[in-house]
Amino acid sequence: MTIHIGAAPGQIAETVLLPGDPYRARWAAETFLDDVELVNEVRGMLGFTGTWKGNRVTIHGTGMGMPSLSIYVNEMIRDYGAKTLIRIGSCGGMQHSVKVRDIILGMTATTLSTPSRGIFKEMNFAPCADYSLLAAAHRAATARDVAVHAGGIYSADVFYDERPDLNEQMTRHGILGVEMEAAELYNLAARHGCRALAVLTVSDHLLTHEALPSEDREKTFGDMVEIALEAAFA
């Protein structure tokens, strides 16, 4: 047990899927895992461990934003021995070639600031995904005939953004989509010698202003979860 995770030793698997929403964690665990056990509900942040094709997996919420994710990922790695961490979440599309419902695999994550900024000081560290996970996820998406894009993403540190010029520069420089957690996940994975990847569903679009209807979200997010699971155990 840690300050924020109530799981006993051994209840968190080495492979962890990380949605921001704890209720999405419950949905994904109940939908895709067998022998599911609730292992955390401290502060309402739900975590579940079960098996997928015989492999142990934990699906645990992280909350919104990099500071919240940093708390849970630090404890999972340091206290529970997590080795492979895959963010599964939604993002906003930032290129016309990227459509709502597409999958984005975050190769790199650009950001203004992360909780790790104090460590790097004047250095602009470039956080990136684990290549083996990235390649396996791309193969899995292609095999499922899901539209997939691999490239740079933007991890924003605010949701209600009042700097439209930043979004314009991200689009200008080829960033595929915007979300709020991956950059710090990649920082922590690099620091602790773990594997990390962000597998993201485009739920809305900053250029076209299209948004995914709520009734379509479950199936589309289901593709994302299965791609992440297949990549983790490829």
Is 88 annotated in a binding site? The answer is: yes
Instruction: Give a yes or no: residue 7 inside a domain.
Output: no
Instruction: Give a yes or no: residue 132 inside a domain.
Output: yes
Cα–Cα distance for residue pair 200/127, rounded to 1 Å: 17
Is 123 annotated in a binding site? The answer is: no
The pLDDT of residue 218 is 64
Q: Of 73, 100, 95, nearest to 154 (Cα)? A: 95
Instruction: Give a yes or no: residue 154 inside a domain.
Output: yes
Cα–Cα distance for residue pair 124/61, rounded to 1 Å: 28
Q: How many domains does the chain have?
A: 1
Mean pLDDT, contiguous 10-residue spans, the chain (234 residues): 94 97 95 97 96 98 96 97 97 97 97 90 93 98 97 94 90 97 98 98 96 74 96 96
Is 14 annotated in a binding site? The answer is: no
Cα–Cα distance for residue pair 58/169, rounded to 1 Å: 36
**pTM of the predicted model over 0.75:** yes
Cα–Cα distance for residue pair 81/186, rounded to 1 Å: 16
Catalytic residues: 204
The domain in which residue 186 lies consists of 15-232
Instruction: Give a yes or no: residue 153 inside a domain.
Output: yes
Instruction: Give a yes or no: residue 1 inside a domain.
Output: no
The pLDDT of residue 220 is 74
Instruction: Give a yes or no: residue 150 inside a domain.
Output: yes
Is 155 annotated in a binding site? The answer is: no
CATH number of the domain bearing residue 44: 3.40.50.1580
Instruction: Give a yes or no: residue 104 inside a domain.
Output: yes
Is 89 annotated in a binding site? The answer is: yes
The pLDDT of residue 164 is 87
